[in-house]
């Protein structure tokens, strides 16, 4: 067979494919201009360093895997998922905190984090920990928009916002403080409280849309019952003979219920807010997969943190002494609540695979 005979056929097929309409978008989506994060410690790059709160991580052993081993205020040994996203999108090496003094108005054009560790979707959660409420984070975003307009003008700022990726990651603290620890009292039911949190998500997404945002992603809850601190507290209630570290399944069931509701909300919002892409970021699945299949990821310890005993330490309780694990790459969690840089990298890769084609 003469391969040259196939060339006209291949050319015709290629031409036909080019002419077929894209069922999702009539034209390719514009490049992502910036990454903006709101929420809690999962996306706080260090804003809490600059407010009067105990919820800080700007001290060793935090940051031991970060460039120059800097304790930046990220609740991990290194980078967060949003840092990896910013790098993968070609925006910047890491996503800085809005309060970082080195962040200049021009830097705002490619993204920052407004998040605050200890915060939540329920403003009372942030008030309890003396951190930034979602309302306060929003006010700083508005301030950032004014700064950007002063540098590049209104039209360019609006273009950046329209094509930026907005990420909201919060809710875990709300569930732990209000539902499981009962710090804020009790709602009628877990489901009722989740509905309250989701109404706050809806209001925040609406705010973003009204400000010109069109690419918005809301992260679901992790398997809260598998966070080392929750495993520890759950184990305490078991008879001594059963003191084996296992996940608290009812809390994981609660997380799954919330995530199902969030996905339905995002779908409704996408239909209502025309021209917007309101997407769900599934963090439950990759974390649970690391717990169930640790060796697939080169992990050995999945229900205990690297810092100290790994049972309860986080924030100010996570200190250089009595020490940390030798090889943090073998751990899913760095302290009793927060994932390691390695885990965040896996979560970011999962997010990019699932979401980037949809943005």
- From 259, 151, 161, select the one nearest 208 (Cα to Cα): 161
Q: Catalytic pick from 129, 254, 338, 345?
A: 338
Q: Catalytic pick from 40, 41, 116, 336?
A: 41
- From 211, 212, 351, 222, select the one nearest 284 (Cα to Cα): 222
Compute, in degrees rounded to 10, the torsion defined by CA atoms 58, 62, 67, 73: -30
**What is the spatial distance between Cα 248 and Cα 140, in angstroms, rounded to a whole number?**
37
Q: Check if 335 is active-site.
A: yes
Q: Check if 192 is active-site.
A: no
- List Cβ neighbours of 46 (8 Å cut-off, separation of 6 or more): 58, 72, 73, 74, 96, 97, 99, 100
**What is the spatial distance between Cα 97 and Cα 111, in angstroms, rounded to a whole number?**
9
Q: Check if 295 is active-site.
A: no
How far are the Cα atoms of 111, 188, 273, 278 from residue 157, in angstroms, in the given order?
A: 12, 44, 21, 21
Phi, psi of 277, deg, nearest 5: -120, 100
**Sign of the torsion formed by the C-alpha atoms of 151, 154, 159 and 164:** positive
Where does residue 204 rank: exposed (0-12), middle (13-18), buried (19+ CB within 10 A)? buried
The answer to whether the CB of 337 falls within 8 A of the CB of 177 is no
Exposed e or buried b for every residue in 3-29, given b needs 16+ CB within 10 A?
Answer: eeeeeeeeeeeeeeeeeeeeeeeeeee
3-class state of residue 86 by DSSP: helix
How far are the Cα atoms of 24, 51, 117, 177 from residue 54, in angstroms, in the given order?
A: 47, 9, 10, 16
Q: Catalytic pick from 77, 335, 336, 345?
A: 335
Residues marked active site are found at: 41, 335, 338
């Amino acid at each position: 067979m003469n391969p040259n005979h196939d060339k006209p056929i291949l050319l015709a097929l290629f031409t036909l494919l080019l002419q077929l309409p894209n069922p999702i978008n009539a034209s390719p989506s514009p490049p992502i201009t910036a990454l903006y994060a709101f929420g809690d410690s999962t996306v706080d790059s260090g804003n809490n360093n600059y407010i009067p709160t105990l919820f800080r991580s700007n001290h060793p052993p935090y940051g031991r895997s970060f460039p120059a081993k800097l304790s930046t205020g990220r609740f991990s040994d290194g980078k967060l998922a949003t840092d990896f996203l910013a790098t993968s999108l070609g925006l910047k090496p890491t996503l800085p905190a809005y309060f970082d003094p080195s962040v200049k108005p021009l830097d705002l054009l490619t993204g920052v984090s407004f998040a605050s560790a200890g915060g939540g979707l329920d403003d009372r959660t942030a008030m309890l920990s003396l951190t930034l409420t979602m309302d306060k984070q929003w006010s700083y975003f508005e301030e950032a928009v004014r700064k950007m307009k002063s540098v590049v003008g209104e039209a360019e700022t609006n273009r950046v916002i329209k094509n930026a990726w907005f990420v909201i990651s919060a809710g875990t603290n709300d569930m732990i403080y209000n539902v499981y620890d009962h710090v804020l009292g009790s709602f009628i039911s877990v489901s009722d409280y989740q509905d309250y949190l989701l109404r706050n998500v809806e209001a925040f997404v609406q705010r973003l849309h009204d400000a010109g945002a069109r690419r918005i992603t809301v992260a679901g809850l992790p398997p809260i019952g598998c966070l080392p601190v929750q495993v520890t507290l759950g184990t305490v209630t078991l008879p001594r003979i059963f003191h084996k570290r296992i996940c608290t399944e009812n809390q994981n069931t609660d997380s799954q219920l919330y995530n199902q509701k969030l996905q339905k909300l995002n779908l409704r919002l996408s239909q209502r807010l025309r021209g917007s892409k309101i997407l769900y970021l599934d963090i439950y699945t990759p974390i649970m997969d690391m717990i169930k299949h640790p060796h697939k990821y080169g992990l050995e310890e999945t229900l205990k943190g690297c810092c100290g005993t790994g049972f309860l330490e986080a924030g100010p309780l996570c200190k250089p002494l009595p020490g940390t694990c030798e090889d943090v790459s073998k751990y899913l969690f760095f302290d009793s609540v927060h994932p390691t840089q390695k885990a965040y990298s896996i979560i970011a890769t999962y997010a990019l695979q699932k979401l980037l084609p949809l943005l």
